[in-house]
Chain A
Amino acid sequence: MSIRIKVFLVLLVLTLLPYGLASFFIFKYGENQLRNNIKNQQLQNIALIQQNIQNYFLSMKKNLNFWSKAQILDDILIGDLDKRIQIFLDQIKTNYHLKGILLVVNKEGRIIASTKRKLVGKSFWNIGLSGQNNFILTFPVFSSFDKRKIGEFVYIFKPYYLKSFLYKNPFSGLSLYNTKSKARIGYIEDIPEILLYKNEYEDKEYIYFSQGFSLTDLKNWLLISQINKEAVFSPLRKIQDYFFFVFITGFFLIVAFSFYISEKLVRPIKNIAETMEYVVDKKDYSVRVLYSGKDEIGILAKAFNHMLSEVETALKTIEKENKRRLYLFKNLIEIFSRITSVQKDTEVLDVAVKELQKFFKDIKIHFSKKKMHYSVPIKTKSIEGYLVFETKKTLTKEEKNFYTSIGELINLLLEKVELLTKAQEASKAKSAFISNMSHELRTPLNSILGFSQFLQSIETDSTKREALKSIETAGRHLLEMINDILDYAKLEAGAVYVKKERFFIKELLDEVFTIVKPLAEDKNLKLEYFYENFPVYSDKKLLKQILLNLLSNGIKFTEKGYIRVKAWKENDKVFFSAKDTGIGIKNEDIEKIFQDFTQLENPLQKRYKGTGLGLAIVKKYIELLGGKIEVHSQEYKGTEFVFWIKEN
């Protein structure tokens, strides 16, 4: 659960929940109180109205009783001949504002006088006024002479006239209800039947109270009061609405407030967390949390930033130290690799220690036979001892490792020097042997070739001269092969060293052409060359050898046409091309032509005169000069060799 929701819930529980509960109970209580008040008030009202009605009845009865004792009523006996009773009744009705009908009935039940004229003379029992609803109040009339009952004094009035006692206002209404006839008078539209049995009832809209009368005249009647709940409780509802409004407003305020609080709280924490994640993910310790608050989060952010900067500084220090060491190592290795020009391993060790000392100011480095301070064993065939690192401070594990690897480096260096010395010695021996061999092989050939030439120059017999020429040719062929083999042997022995010099391309090509030209002319081949004179920095002798080999090869395999040489320069590369119009090379053989004599059994090689080593030597020479050779050829059309060498 996020902090935002937690804050929201806490605030809700702390504020709105009590508020809601309190207001709920207050309303319940208030409603009860109000209801009780209303009820009491209503009951009082009813009582009062009942009282009024009953008082009305009582006073009416008192009056009627009084009027029934009037002497004038003796006229009943004469049937109100003089209409005196009639006048008496009319006067009462007028004076007392009676709405009902006043009657005087004789002993036989005949109506003597009435405020309603048409009833006079009729039988009281037949007029139908004694209908269910009408109130009929009767009082006996006695003769003033003999106190004999001579008739009845009657007042009839409709219950309707009681309506004036009832009222209606926005809150409540009153009605009279006759339990027998179900007649009703008053302001209540629907009177629930249940009120016949209960004196309190409540439905959705109203509260009802019913109350019977104690007076016998009203025994069938109930006074019913109806209270409009909505009207009565409307102030409460209004307050309730107000409370609800406050609740809703509070709710939204709390939502907003918790959002704000959590935003205020969570944002910086989130920010810190995200920064942490970023740091862990990207290993970038240069970022900082941006939070300037002075609260606990601010302290956290500050502490975090502090930690970051500490880590960053530490890392930077480590990186710097690593770089320094790398730099040291690089320099050491460079120096060490230069030291290999020193031939003896004891000297190498001396120079190495001296060079090391230059790098380490705070530490004394020397070689010792004994183990002391921090020392790394040094061991070769002729040297055994320790490289001592003398310092006052205690060395850390890393420093020890570092010094150990320096020691190992020196060991390696010494080993390398040893191997190099051995290799050089071996190479020198081979080289010397080959030089010797070449000398020894050429010396007798010198005689063979020399004498055959000399004899040709003095011999007059053409057959003998031809034979001598054959000896010379065979001898030259043998010489070529010896030269090839010796060159190759030298290459294999690693005894061919590149000796670069500055010269112009013309010098090189002139030297080559001087040798090749007679050969080409012998076969009637054109020798063409295209070049602009430019300076070259390379091994002239090797280049000469390469070109001679290629060109003499070309001449050897070309019967007619031309041999064309080109030379040009592109950046730091010098290009040469040697093209002939000779027999060409079969496609499947092209790859084999540069292979050396280990491939002598190849059928291709057998077509060649000679060792077949020429091109293999050429290729190796070119590689020695840092270059490459390619061949393009079409069978029976010609061959082109293109190669380049690097000047540096």
Chain B
Amino acid sequence: MKKVLIVDDDKQNRFLLRLILEKEGFLVKEAQTGKECIDIMKEDVFDLVLLDVMMPDINGFDVYKEIKGKTPVIFLTALGERDIKERDIEYILKPIDIQIFVKKVKEKVK
């Protein structure tokens, strides 16, 4: 089973993603903040990190700097496309389309 870490400060979002991913047969773990994400990553290994950008303590991009190279990362963001466009990253815009989201996650994990 593939392991996915969901990093998002919004409880509803984490819950939604967990439901979707678990339905697809992923093992899901959640982190509420950037710091928590970094801490968890120190102890555990994941196949994919779904990383929110706008978070209260450390933002997604800064988290990414810490964990870069260890695990594949897909950003999940409610920011406009134009705000993150120039960064060389993979991203899914919120609100998500479940079909597209699942497709992308599966591709990344392979």
Contacts and interface: CB of A to CB of B under 8 A. Distances in A.
Interface of A: 435, 438-440, 442-451, 453-454, 457-458, 475, 479, 483, 486, 496, 499, 541
A364 B17 CA distance: 69
A438 B80 contact: yes
Contact of B16 (A440, A447, A458): A447
Interface in B11-49: 12-13, 16-17, 19-20, 23
B78 interface: yes
Nearest to B20: A454
B79 A458 contact: no
B90 interface: no
* Interface size classification for chain B: 20 to 34
* Interface SS majority for chain A: helix
B98 A454 contact: yes
B98 A541 contact: no
28 contacts: A438-B78, A439-B54, A439-B78, A439-B79, A442-B78, A443-B94, A445-B95, A446-B12, A446-B95, A446-B96, A447-B13, A449-B95, A450-B95, A450-B96, A451-B16, A453-B97, A453-B98, A454-B19, A454-B20, A454-B98, A457-B23, A457-B98, A479-B95, A483-B80, A496-B82, A499-B86, A541-B82, A541-B85
Contacts of B20: 450, 454
Nearest to A483: B80
Interface of B: 10, 12-13, 16-17, 19-20, 23, 54, 77-83, 85-86, 94-98
Nearest to B19: A454
Given A442-B95, A446-B13, A454-B20, 12 more contacts: A435-B80, A439-B77, A439-B79, A442-B94, A446-B12, A447-B12, A450-B20, A453-B97, A454-B23, A499-B86, A541-B81, A541-B82
Contacts of B12: 444, 446-447, 451
Contact of A486 (B19, B80, B86, B95): B80
A454 B80 contact: no
Nearest to B93: A442
Nearest to B77: A439
A263 to B, nearest CB: 87
A446 B98 contact: no
Contacts of B96: 446, 449-450
Nearest to A458: B23
Contact of B10 (A443, A449, A454): A443
Nearest to A439: B78
Nearest to A442: B78
A458 B95 CA distance: 19
B85 A435 contact: no
Nearest to A495: B82
Q: Which 4 residue pairs of A and B lie closest in terms of their CB atoms, listed nearest first?
A: A442-B78, A447-B12, A446-B95, A446-B94
A541 B81 CA distance: 9
Contacts of A486: 80
B16 A454 contact: yes
A513 B48 CA distance: 29
Given A443-B10, A444-B12, A450 B80 contact: no
A246 B82 CA distance: 112
Interface centre among B13, B23, B81, B95 (most CB of A within 10 A): B95
